[in-house]
Amino acid sequence: MTQKKQETKLILSTDTLGGYGLDYIFSLAKKCGFDGLELALWKNFDAQNPEYVKELSEKHKLKVRGIQTSASLNKKEMNKALDLCEELNCRNININAPKFFNYKAFNFIKSNLKTYIEKNKDINFSIINPEDGSFFIIPLPKYRFNNLVEIIKKYGSYLALDIANLDEESFEDEFYRKMKDFLPYISTIYLSDKDKNGKSHNIPGEGILKLPSFLKKLKKKKYNNDICIKININKADLADNEKTEIILKKTVNYYKEYYKDIEIKE
C-alpha cells in the first residue's frame, strides 16, 4: 500500500458549513487561507453537479481534494463521487463507516469496495473511523486502532482519521504513541478538538486533546497527506458570516502555528 508523495495541504470540509451555498463556501475558504475543499456530498445539493463544482473550483482557484460520502453509502452515491473525482482530478474518497445495524450500506461496502479499488487505482478510498466505536458492525473494543488497521488492510483501503472521534485515552495511548505504525495507512486527518464532556469537533485548541504535541510529532514523522478542518459551528455563529469567517481564520492560524510553521530539528 503506497501513496504518492505530496506536500501537506490544509482543506476545509463542506460538512462544517451545512446550509451555505457552494459558491460562497469556495469564496470563504479561499479568503480564509485554505488550500482546498472536501465535498460532503449529502450536505450540499449543488456539490453533486460535477460541471458546476469544476466551474467554481476554477473561478475561485481552489482545488477539490476530497469527496466525503455518507454513512448510508450506495451505488448511486459512490458513482457520483467517482464522477466528481474524474471531473475534478480528485484523488480521495472518504467514506463514513455505516452506523450500527445499517446492513444495507455495510453489505454494499463489503461486496463492492475491493472492486472499486481495483478499477480506480488512482483514487485513495478511505474509511472514516466512527465515533461510536462500531466499525463495519464487527464487535471491537472501542477505538482499538490495531484492529481498525487490520480491517483497513483487509479491504485494501486507507483510513481517514477523525481524531475527535477518539476518546482522550485512545488518542494518547492507542494512536499518539504508535503513530509511525498507522501513518502509512492514513490518507486524511480531520483536525478538531473535544471537551471534557465528550462534545466533539470543537475548534482546535478549545478542548482537552493535546493537539500541539500531536501536530509536532506528525510533522516530525513526515506526514504529507491532507489535514482537513471539520468542526461544528453553532447555528447562531453560522448565521453570522463575519463570525463564521473569524472562526475559520482561527483554525487556519492554529494549523500554521502548530504545524506548518514549526521547525523540526533532525
Listed in sequence order, the residues at least 6 apart from 6 whose beta carbon sits closer than 8 Å to its beta carbon are: 224, 225
* Calpha distance 96→114 (Å, rounded): 16
Cell of 175: 494512536
Residue 130 has a pLDDT of 81
In degrees to the nearest 10, what's the CA dihedral of 198, 204, 209, 211?
160
In degrees to the nearest 10, what's the CA dihedral of 157, 158, 163, 168?
70
Going by pLDDT thresholds of 50, 70 and 90, the confidence category of residue 102 is confident
Average pLDDT, the chain: 88
Classify domain 10-260 by CATH number.
3.20.20.150
What residue ranges do the domains of the chain occupy? 10-260
* Calpha distance 14→1 (Å, rounded): 28
* Calpha distance 123→143 (Å, rounded): 26
Going by pLDDT thresholds of 50, 70 and 90, the confidence category of residue 5 is low
CA distances from 61 to 33, 123, 232, 261 (A): 12, 22, 26, 23
The string of pLDDT tens digits covering residues 210-225 is 999 999 999 999 999 9
The string of pLDDT tens digits covering residues 235-252 is 999 999 999 999 999 999
The string of pLDDT tens digits covering residues 20-36 is 999 999 999 999 999 99
Q: What is the CB neighbour count within 10 angstroms for residue 140?
A: 17
162 contacts 127 by C-beta, under 8 angstroms:
no
The helix (run of H) or strand (run of E) holding residue 187 is: strand 186-191
The model's pTM: 0.91
